[in-house]
Structure 1
Amino acid sequence: MNSTLIYSACALICAALLAYTLTPLVRVLAIKIKAIDVPTDGRRMHHKPIPRIGGLAIFLAFLITSIGFCRLDRELVTILIGGSALVLLGILDDVYRLNAFLKLAVQIVAALFAVSQGVTIDYICFFGKYVAFGNWAIPITVFWIVGLTNAVNFIDGLDGLACGVSAISSISLCLTMLLSDSSVAHCLITALIAAACLGFLPFNANPARIFMGDTGALFLGYALSVLSVVGVFKSDMVLAFFIPLSIFGLPLADTFFAVVRRLAHGKSPFAPDRGHLHHRLIDMGFGQKQSVRILYAVCAILGISAVMLTGQSTRGGALMLVVGLAIFFVTFLILRNPKLRIHSGIYNEDEGVAPPVETFEDVIGEIPSITPEEAAAEAAAEEKELAKAANAAAAEPVKEPTGEEDESETGSDGRQ
């Protein structure tokens, strides 16, 4: 057991370090190929061009560590092949802005590939009773994989939001798989996704230096959906059907309400708007960091509830879910008032009452290897290159909207 823990810890550390090391290289690549997100509308929360395709670092870190530390079983090969296709799709979309229906078609093909490899929701266990889906197993599985893939993409609207939510969801899914006696290999694969996300998060957290784009959002959604099928849906837990719905409750709920809202207004489900949960929090006066922390907390509450339910503590899981969400709801209502928010010690970054943040130099002192003038010159050169890439992207002719542009048009840029 100890050797397994040490082996797993080494794999997780490698995944996090690889993602952290590869991200600056991917950022340089994004600038070179002009994969830049330029703020052009009110949905975007950033005010200067930011490189995209950061999800490539997450994927490469996962690819290398999973091949190096895990057995190449059918499920892992499915994730690697299907995920590679969606990463390529994401890169093309981050650079060229592909048609929404083309992207949906590729996602369906990737989901069908997973089904062909035995990744199907054949039945669910509901309080000890099994409900078989029969011929509906394939469409239900495809709907789940495509739905969760897009849900992760839809929630990618603030710096670090989708990446952090994916990490929290991966950890929750890993714990539920451990408690339900799933394959240790599948648990490690799930944990590697969380580790890769955490390695990328320092560059993606507010203020973001790179967005993961569709490149990362599509891969994470696909990988987590496949793992949830093989590790949770097919288990014999009392509430096996509820566990993944709870773990991924935040992105699924946001996507559900987004689709309903758009259809009610006669729009395409893929038409971008400013009605997501993170947009509502921003419009209520919360800052980006506050909004992300609030949504992290909701995701964590749902994940902990799922873990408790997996441990056969149905009453405890339900109590955790109800009490946690009640506390969140009451706190949310209180913090809507700016004065109460100030009294609580939780400030909006724009209210002018936040304490000053120490700079890197304040913490560790001056760095002798580079002077402030050299650092400023390097920063100015990078800004100039970003502006040049942004101008080149803006100068390209605007395509006629042959299909609705979907949420992923900005990817992990967090501007949806």
Structure 2
Amino acid sequence: MAALLAALFAVWPVKKLAVYSNAIDRPGQRKIHAQDTPKLGGLAVFFGLLAGLGVSAFFYGEVFSREMLVILSGGLLTVALGFVDDIYTLPWSVKLLGQTAIAVLVAACGIEINYLKHPLSLQIIELGVFSKILSVFWILVVMNIINLIDGLDGLAGGIALISAFALFIISLLTNQLHVVFLLIALCGATAGFLRFNFHPASIFLGDTGSLLLGYLLAVCSITGVLKSATVIALGIPLLSLLIPLADTALAIVRRLKNRVNIFLPDRGHLHHILLNYYKHGQREVVLLLYSASVVLNLAAVLLSVTSGIYSYLWFLVIIAVLLIAALRLKKRILWPESK
């Protein structure tokens, strides 16, 4: 509740700061919004997150562990990177370099997937040098997939909120209590911000927010699910974030096919396609994607509480259902013809 209220109250001064610093998202050819809209919404989310953690520390004590301080330090650097990008529009190469530096830093400080366990024999699979490489890669992937789906009012924030809440439930069920406070504060702060970000939005997350949400989801999934997980548990965060992951994968293949820079934006994302195909407004398309995300995150939660051979069976059932659903979608929805 503290995180939610703090984010709500922080939105007004953040709007003023965005206007003062000219961090404004203006309508354009690939933009959907019709009027100038302030960015920097991630500042309100980060303020709400810190307020929520502060209240938790007051009532419950040991919240700001060394691991938490590392995560928050990385979050602060991510906010700083997004803030600069929202104002000056950094080249994609500079932004990627900054993201990589942040990911390497937090992995070097211990936020990494240490090892995997075989779900049947429980044999330990040491990752060695690949531990940090895999962790850095995962952080970079999730930071960017949330950034890439931030194309409709409330879409990135809502998908992140649903995934964060699922990770919160999974952390409770698997007794990973060290990350619970961070996740519930993230849920509250994001929910508070969505009050102003849902259609018609009066403020956008900006890269300040989308990169922050992606970063936090990545590190929370590492510390709460993947740090010493079974092999099959790798599917939990993949299911939780499947919509932005699939959208990003299709975007990369589409841009490679068209021989354009994979980092350049376009209007071929899933939310653009749905908006054009169904001829509904933003609100309806966003709610449709919310519903799909809820179903996928429920599957992730169920996968987290199964063990042994049942985890494999449940994972295969999920994959089969997803493949059938994908095959039933019309080709022009999933893969629009290039013009």
Query: Normalising to structure 1: TM-score of the pair?
Result: 0.72
Q: 1:326 and 1:25, CA in 2 relative to 1: closer, same or farther beyond 3 A?
A: farther
Aligned to 1:50: 37
CA distance in 1, matches of 2:166, 2:113: 20
- The higher-RCO structure (CA 8 Å, 6+ apart) is 1
Q: Distance in 2 between matches of 1:54 and 1:46?
A: 16
How far the C-alpha of 1:293 sits from its partner, in A, is 1.0
Say whether 1:222 aligns with 2:210: no
Worse-matched range after superposition: 206-215 or 92-101? 92-101
Q: Does 1:166 align with 2:166?
A: no
Q: What does residue 201 of structure 1 align with?
A: 194
Map 1:48-127 to 2 at 5 A: 48-70=35-57, 71-127=63-119
For 1:271, the equivalent position in structure 2 comes to 264
Structure 2 residue aligned with 1:8: none
1:357: which partner in 2? none
Secondary structure in 1 aligned to 2:233? coil
Contact 1:125/1:240 (8 A) holds in 2: no
The answer to whether the Cα contact below 8 Å between 1:298 and 1:325 also exists between their aligned partners in 2 is no
Give the match for residue 382 of structure 1.
Answer: none
What is the aligned partner in structure 1 of residue 183 from structure 2? 190
Shift of 1:318: 5.7
Offset, 1:86: 1.2
Offset at residue 142 of structure 1 (A): 0.7
Contact 2:115 2:229 in 1 (8 A): no
How far apart are the structure 1 equivalents of 2:241 and 2:109? 23
Q: Are positions 1:308 and 2:302 aligned together? A: yes
Bigger shift: residues 144-153 or 114-123: 114-123
Match for residue 16 of structure 2? 28
In the alignment, does 2:249 pair up with 1:249? no
Q: Is the 8 A contact 1:56 1:215 kept in 2?
A: yes
CA distance in 1, matches of 2:46, 2:67: 16
Give distance in 1, aligned partners of 2:318 and 2:98: 39
Alignment match of 2:287 (pick from 277, 282, 293) = 293
Counterpart Cα distance in 2 of 1:236 and 1:91: 34
Q: What is the distance in 1 between the residues matched to 2:295 and 2:46? A: 27
Asked if 2 retains the 8 angstrom alpha-carbon contact of 1:180 and 1:237, the reply is no
| Whole-Å separation in 1 of the counterparts to 2:119 and 2:296 | 20
Check the 8 A contact 2:2/2:55 in 1, yes or no: no
Question: 2: CA distance between counterparts of 1:329 and 1:259?
Answer: 20
Is the contact between residue 305 and residue 318 of structure 1 (CA under 8 Å) also seen in structure 2? no
Mapped contact 1:124–1:240 kept (Cα < 8 A): no
Paired with 2:140 and 2:231, the residues of 1 have a C-alpha distance of 26
Q: Structure 2: which amino acid aligns with 1:93?
A: D
Cα 1:243–1:302, aligned 2, differ >3 Å: closer, same or farther? same
1:154 lines up with 2:142 in the alignment: no
User: Distance in 2 between the 1:298 and 1:328 partners?
Assistant: 12
Give the root-mean-square deviation of aligned CA atoms.
2.1
Q: Quick one: structure 1 residues 306 and 318, their matched pair in 2 at CA, closer, same or farther if it must change by over 3 Å?
A: farther
Alignment length (residue pairs)? 319
Greater alpha carbon shift after TM alignment, 163-172 vs 134-143: 134-143
2:116 is paired with a residue whose SS is: strand
Alignment-mate amino acid for residue 94 of structure 1: D
8 Å CA contact 1:144, 1:225 repeated in 2: yes
Q: Percent identity?
A: 38
Shift of 1:265: 2.0
Deviations 1:37-79 (A, max 9, x none): 11121x2111111111111100111122223424211221122
Paired amino acid for 1:310: S
The verdict on how the C-alpha distance between 1:21 and 1:318 changes in structure 2, with shifts beyond 3 A counting, is farther
Matches within 5 A, 1:374-393: none
SS in structure 2 at match of 1:256: helix
CA–CA separation in structure 2 for the residues paired with 1:26 and 1:221: 20
Q: Is the 8 A contact 2:39 2:86 kept in 1?
A: yes
Q: SS in structure 2 opposite 1:124?
A: strand
- Aligned residue type for 2:21: I
Structure 1, unmatched stretches of 5+, are: 1-12, 337-416
**Amino acid corresponding to residue 40 of structure 1 in structure 2:** G
